[in-house]
Amino acid sequence: MNKKFIAMACLAAVVAIAPSCKKDFLNESDPNAISVDASYKTPNDVLLAVNGIYQSLRSGNNVGEGSDLWTDQRSDDTGTQDNQSNSGEPFQFGNFSILPTNTYLKSHWVSLYTTVSRANSVLSHIDQVPFPDNSVKLKYAAEAKFLRAFIYFDLVRTWGDVPLVTKALSSAGDVSAQTFREKQATVYQQIVTDLTDVIASPLPNLQASTGRASKAAANFLLGQVYLTMATTQDQANRTANLNNAKTFLMNAYNMRTFGALNAVPYTDVFDVSKKTTCPELIFQIVNIQGDLNYSSSIAANFQAKGETINSQKVSTGAGYNVTHDLINEYETGDPRMTFSVKFANDPIVKDWFVTKFRDVSTAAGINGYGGNDWILMRYADVILSLAEVNNYLGDQATAISFLDQVRTRAGMPTYAVSITNSDYATRYPTLKLAILHERRVELAFEHHRWFDLLRTFTTDELVAYFHAKKQTDFGLASLANFTTKDRYYPIPFDEYKLDPVKMYQNPGY
C-alpha cells in the first residue's frame, strides 16, 4: 500500500488507549488525540464519515471533474500539447510514455485508496454505533459499499491486479499484510458482492439528491461491471456475464422517471439551472455555484482565450484541448458538436476547445465559480450500454432500438437510415463500431472514452486501432508510442518498491 496508508496506520497504532488502572500515570492518553474508535459514537458521526467518502471523490486526483489526465487524455479525445510543464509528466499520459515514477499517477493511486480507506473505516466501525432506526444504518453501510465498489472498478480497470482491502487498517502489521496485488477475478468478485448488498439495501431507487448513491446507480454500476467482465476478463463465462449485465442494466433503465430519452433535451443535462430536476441524471458530484471551495471551475478552465461562451472569467490560454481526431468523428449536422466544442479564432489561439460545460451566470461571476455538477452516471450511458450488451448477445434489433433512442434525441437519423450513407457505413461497418461511435460523441469529455476502448478492443486490436489513426490529428503526442504495455498503467514506483515480489510491476514498465 502507499505511504499515506502506512502513515495513517501507524498513527492509529500509536493513539493512546485509556488505562484500565486509574493510577497508572505512565500510560496517560493524549487529551488532544481522538482515536478512530472514539469517533464513531452516534448515527450522525457515521453520516459525517459517509459524507467524507463522498468528499474524497471531488479531487481531480480522484474521479472529480479534473480527473481527465488518466481518462480522456489517455484516450483519443483530448491531450495536452505542452510537453514541458511540470517536467513533462502530464504529457506522458497522452504520449503513451508514462513512467512508474510519474508523480501524477502516484497521486491518483493515493487518492483512490484514500476513498477505499474511508469506506472501510465506516464499514469496520458502524456496528459499534447504536441506531434507533436500523434502516438508516443499512443505508449508510450501503452507501459506503457502493463507493468502495465504484472506486475498485476504476482501480482494477486501470492497473489490473491491485491490493484488495476491505477493512480498516489499524497497525503497520495490518498494512504490511495487505501489501500485495490481488488477482483481478477476486477484485471483481468483491465489487459484485458489495453492489449486490447495495441493491438489497433500503436505499431508494433514485435519490432526491443525485449526489448520493441509489439502487439505480448500483444496478447500473453492476451492469457495467458484468459487461466489462464479459468483454475483458472471463471468456468462459462470457454469455452468463452478458446476461447478468443485461439484467442489471435493465433494472436501472426501468427505474427512470421518463419515457423515451427524447423526453429529456440533450442541453438540459448540462444546464446548471436544471441540475436538480433533470430526470436523466443518476449520480454526480455536486458543486455549489459561487462558492470558493465547492464550486466548479470546469467551465472557466475549458474556455479558450478571447471566448465568453463558457464563463465570465477571462481566459488567457488555449482552454481544453480537443484532438482533431474527435472533431472528425462528429457526423455532419450533429447538434452535439455545436453544443460541445467550438473553434477559437483568437489571434493567439486558433483551435478547438470544449464548451459542453457552461456557467456564465452572475452567481458564477468573473472568478468562474461555476455550479456545474460533475456527472458520473446518466441514462444515455445506461441506454448505450444496453445497446452494447444486446448486440453482444446477438439481439441486434433490440440493440438498434436503444441506439436509436440516443440518435433520435440528438436529432440524428436512425441507424437504419444512417447505414445507407456510404460515409457512415465505411467508418462504422459493424454495429459494434456504430455503438462505440455513438458513445464517443454522446459522452464526450465525461471521462468514459478510455474505458470504452478497453472494453471494445483486445489489447492487440487497440494497438492497431491507434496506429491506424492520423498522427497529424494528435499534435505532439506520438501514436507510435502506443504498445501492448499501455493496456494498464504502471504500478507507481513507491508502491512497487514496498515489496517488488508481491507488488510486481505490470509488463513493459
Supply the CATH number for residue 96's domain: 1.25.40.390
Do 189 and 60 sit in the same domain of this protein? yes
In a domain, residue 467? The reply is no
For 496, what's the count of Cα atoms within 13 Å in the CB-facing half-sphere? 16
Read off the pLDDT of residues 176-211 as tens digits, 9 standing for 90 and up: 999 999 999 999 999 999 999 999 999 999 999 999
Do 175 and 322 sit in the same domain of this protein? no
Q: Which whole number is the average pLDDT over 116-122?
A: 98
479: left (phi over 0), alpha (psi -120 to 50) or beta: alpha
Is the pLDDT score of 14 beyond 70?
Answer: no
Residue ranges making up the domain that contains 317 = 287-372
Total domains in the chain come to 2
Do 11 and 155 sit in the same domain of this protein? yes
Q: Confidence band (pLDDT; 50, 70, 90) for 326?
A: very high
In the chain, count of helices (H) and strands (E)?
20, 4
Question: Residues 358, 323: contact at Cβ < 8 Å?
Answer: no
Question: Residues 290, 366: contact at Cβ < 8 Å?
Answer: no
Counting residues of the chain whose pLDDT is more than 70, the rounded percentage is 93
Q: How many CB atoms lie within 10 A of CB 16?
A: 12
Handedness of CA 234, 239, 245, 248 (dihedral sign): negative
Do 8 and 120 sit in the same domain of this protein? yes
In a domain, residue 449? The reply is no
Do 183 and 91 sit in the same domain of this protein? yes
For 488, what's the count of Cα atoms within 13 Å in the CB-facing half-sphere? 18
Q: Distance between CA 342 and CA 100 in Å, rounded? A: 36
Give, in order, the Cα–Cα distances in Å from 13 to each of 3, 5, 8, 169.
15, 12, 9, 9
Q: Distance between CA 311 and CA 313 in Å, rounded? A: 5
Do 198 and 317 sit in the same domain of this protein? no
The Cα angle at residue 116 between residues 112 and 119, in degrees rounded to 5 = 140
Do 93 and 192 sit in the same domain of this protein? yes
Read off the pLDDT of residues 20-76 as tens digits, 9 standing for 90 and up: 444 444 556 566 666 788 889 999 999 999 999 999 999 999 999 999 999 999 999
CB proximity list for 11: less than 8 A, separation 6 or greater: none
Read off the pLDDT of residues 354-364 as tens digits, 9 standing for 90 and up: 999 999 999 99
Q: Distance between CA 49 and CA 116 in Å, rounded? A: 12
In a domain, residue 241? The reply is no
- Domain end residue (candidates: 348, 372, 396): 372
- The per-residue pLDDT for 27 is 53
Q: Confidence band (pLDDT; 50, 70, 90) for 234?
A: confident
Longest dimension (CA), the chain: 89
- The per-residue pLDDT for 24 is 47
Q: What is the mean pLDDT of the chain?
A: 93
In a domain, residue 117? The reply is yes
In a domain, residue 150? The reply is yes
Q: Give the helix/strand (H/E) hosting 354.
A: strand 350-354
State the distance between the two ends of the chain, measured CA to CA, in whole angstroms: 19
Q: Distance between CA 70 and CA 60 in Å, rounded? A: 10
Question: Residues 352, 330: contact at Cβ < 8 Å?
Answer: no
Report the candidate in 61, 60, 48, 191 with the shortest Cα–Cα distance to residue 122.
Answer: 48
Do 198 and 291 sit in the same domain of this protein? no
Read off the pLDDT of residues 272-299 as tens digits, 9 standing for 90 and up: 999 999 999 999 999 999 999 999 999 9
- Domain end residue (candidates: 357, 372, 387): 372
In a domain, residue 182? The reply is yes
- The per-residue pLDDT for 7 is 41
- The per-residue pLDDT for 37 is 81
- The per-residue pLDDT for 29 is 58
Report the candidate in 388, 371, 3 with the shortest Cα–Cα distance to residue 172.
Answer: 3
Do 172 and 48 sit in the same domain of this protein? yes
Do 167 and 295 sit in the same domain of this protein? no
- Domain end residue (candidates: 334, 356, 372): 372
- The per-residue pLDDT for 84 is 92
In a domain, residue 415? The reply is no
Give, in order, the Cα–Cα distances in Å from 427 to each of 394, 436, 441.
21, 11, 14
Is the pLDDT score of 16 beyond 70?
Answer: no
Do 294 and 189 sit in the same domain of this protein? no
Q: Distance between CA 151 and CA 463 in Å, rounded? A: 26
More confident residue, 36 or 116: 116
Read off the pLDDT of residues 177-186 as tens digits, 9 standing for 90 and up: 999 999 999 9
Task: Give the DSSP letter string of 141-202.
Answer: HHHHHHHHHHHHHHHHHHHSSB----S---SHHHHHHT-SPBPHHHHHHHHHHHHHHHHTSS
Task: Give the DSSP letter string of 6-57.
Answer: HHHHHHHHHS----SSTT-GGGPPPTT---TGGG--SHHHHHHHHHHHHHHT
SS3 394: coil
Question: Residues 153, 195: contact at Cβ < 8 Å?
Answer: no
The number of residues making up the chain comes to 509
Read off the pLDDT of residues 457-485 as tens digits, 9 standing for 90 and up: 999 999 999 999 999 999 999 999 999 99
Helix axes 238-254, 215-232, angle to 10 degrees: 160
Is the pLDDT score of 390 beyond 50?
Answer: yes
Do 44 and 187 sit in the same domain of this protein? yes
In a domain, residue 143? The reply is yes
Q: Confidence band (pLDDT; 50, 70, 90) for 1?
A: very low
- The per-residue pLDDT for 20 is 41
